[in-house]
Amino acid sequence: MRIPYELVLGWRYTRAGRATRRNGFISFISAVSMLGIALGVAALIIVLSVMNGFQKEVRDRMLGIVSHIEIYGPGGGPLADIDRTMAEAKRNPEVIGAAPFVAAQSLVARGDDMRGAIVRGVDPALEPQVTDVAAGFRETLAKLKPGEFGIVPGIELARNLGVQPGDPLTLIAPGGQVTPAGVVPRLKQMTVVGTFDSGHYEYDSGLVMVHIQDAQRIFRLEGPTGVRLKLKDLNRAREVAAELQHTLSGEFLIRDWTQQNRTWFSAVQLEKRMMFIILTLIVAVAAFNLVSTLVMTVTDKRADIAILRTLGASPRSIMGIFVVQGAAVGVIGTLAGLFLGLVVAFNIDVIVPFIEHVLHASFLPRDIYLINRMPSDPQSADIMPIALISLVLAFVATLYPSWRASRVNPAEALRYE
């Protein structure tokens, strides 16, 4: 099979030797362009992989304490028939767990120290079916007995209040009692039976769990606030919520985890999108360095172009030679960047600790950040667009110099040769 001479000459110009100072400089600029594309592509892959890793890590920790779907009564009120609602929800093949709950805001106090908290009334037997955190401390939840008014605060809240298992804790419910002396807040003395650690500071410092029957008595509710569901695939939460809206008999308010944490996830997506745009500019700058490289190559190879034209080469063929040269730089730079970026992204859990050890520094201190290690989650949905954008930019950058080469006049180019 005969290889087109455009490919042969284009590749030869790409790896041009350094017989002359000018050729050496052009080769150096070409290598810099190639390196710039590789570093830009690698930076994009590494940064987006780390952002994906942080998002996945925080999401998993958040969903360890937050359910995938929550079902409330009409207008967000309590459910009338909790057993029927749970049974109908579990008929959906995506639902693998269901548990009733009570949610209310209150104050918890010990002595003069008082903190705001969300009280979650749970069924100790069913709660492990819907949250991973509950599944990790079943023995503690089992200590919540109806009528004994036990309480399980988050580990950060317990530390802030200075309480340990066995200590008393006062729960102050909203909506006090009306007496001749005025409105008196409703207080209930609770006993700490244990703590939980979800790994998410917001919940560890602002959430307490009690038995669902005790919560109904304290807040004077006729029934549970709603039902919490766990799914096989958390990414299908929105779709399953829409299905349940049509399959459940009655009027319900159904919220999935993406709606409950919409602000946080929207902020992450916006930040990721902006980082993609900013880092793509690095690739664009490197790709358009090819313009100067090819323009200098065209100037240096004017005599060669003139000879090829006199031998019968068409302007299209001349243009193809320099398109091949620029495309080769773009392809090699992109492939090198993909290799470097993926190697770093898949081994960042080894590379970052090594750098921290060498520099004697901690990039993510445990006492400041939620996550104390650098996570990474390379995704093909990010990597493929990066590679395509890099290749397209490199190809576009070759068009003007290649067109300029095809316009070289053989007579003018050979006049002084």
pLDDT in tens, 227-259: 889 888 888 888 888 888 888 877 788 888 877
Q: For 218-245, give one letter per residue: b (16+ CB within 10 A) or e.
A: bbebebbbbbbbbbeebeebeebbeebe
- What is the rounded average pLDDT for all residues in the chain? 80
pLDDT of residue 112: 82
Is residue 283 very low, low, confident or very high in pLDDT (cuts 50, 70, 90)? Answer: confident
One-letter amino acid of 134:
A
Structure tokens that stand for 409 in this block: 């006049």
Q: Which of 296, 290, 301, 390 is nearest to 340 (CA)?
A: 390
pLDDT of residue 21: 44
* Alpha-carbon span 80 to 399, nearest angstrom: 69
pLDDT of residue 20: 43
pLDDT of residue 85: 86
Indicate whether 416 pLDDT > 60: no
HSE on the CB side for 22, CA within 13 Å? 8
Q: Mean pLDDT across the stretch 131-157?
A: 86
Of 251 and 160, the one with more pLDDT? 160
* Alpha-carbon span 383 to 42, nearest angstrom: 10
* Alpha-carbon span 325 to 315, nearest angstrom: 16
* Alpha-carbon span 43 to 161, nearest angstrom: 45
Query: Residue 417: helix, strand or coil by DSSP?
Result: coil
Q: Which of 157, 160, 167, 170 is nearest to 193 (CA)?
A: 167
pLDDT of residue 88: 87
Domain parsing of the chain, residue ranges: 5-60+265-414, 67-257
* Alpha-carbon span 358 to 355, nearest angstrom: 5
Q: For 281-300, give one letter per residue: b (16+ CB within 10 A) or e.
A: ebbbebbbbbbebbebbbeb
pLDDT of residue 396: 85
Q: Mean pLDDT across the stretch 178-206?
A: 78
Indicate whether 58 pLDDT > 50: yes
pLDDT in tens, 334-352: 899 999 999 998 988 888 8
Q: Which residues pair with 173 in a beta bridge?
A: 186
Q: Mean pLDDT across the stretch 208-225?
A: 88
* Alpha-carbon span 137 to 11, nearest angstrom: 64
* Alpha-carbon span 299 to 310, nearest angstrom: 18
Question: For 50, phi and psi rounded to 5 degrees?
Answer: -65, -40
Length of the chain: 417
Question: Measured on CA atoms in the order 139, 164, 154, 77, is the torsion positive or negative?
Answer: positive
Is residue 182 very low, low, confident or very high in pLDDT (cuts 50, 70, 90)? Answer: low
* Alpha-carbon span 308 to 312, nearest angstrom: 6
158 exposure class (CB count in 10 Å sphere: 0-12, 13-18, 19+):
buried
Q: How far is CA 298 from CA 284, 321, 353, in A?
A: 22, 10, 48
Residues near 206 by Cβ (< 8 Å), separated by ≥ 6? 115, 116, 117, 118, 154, 157
**Per the confidence metrics, is the pTM higher than 0.75?**
no
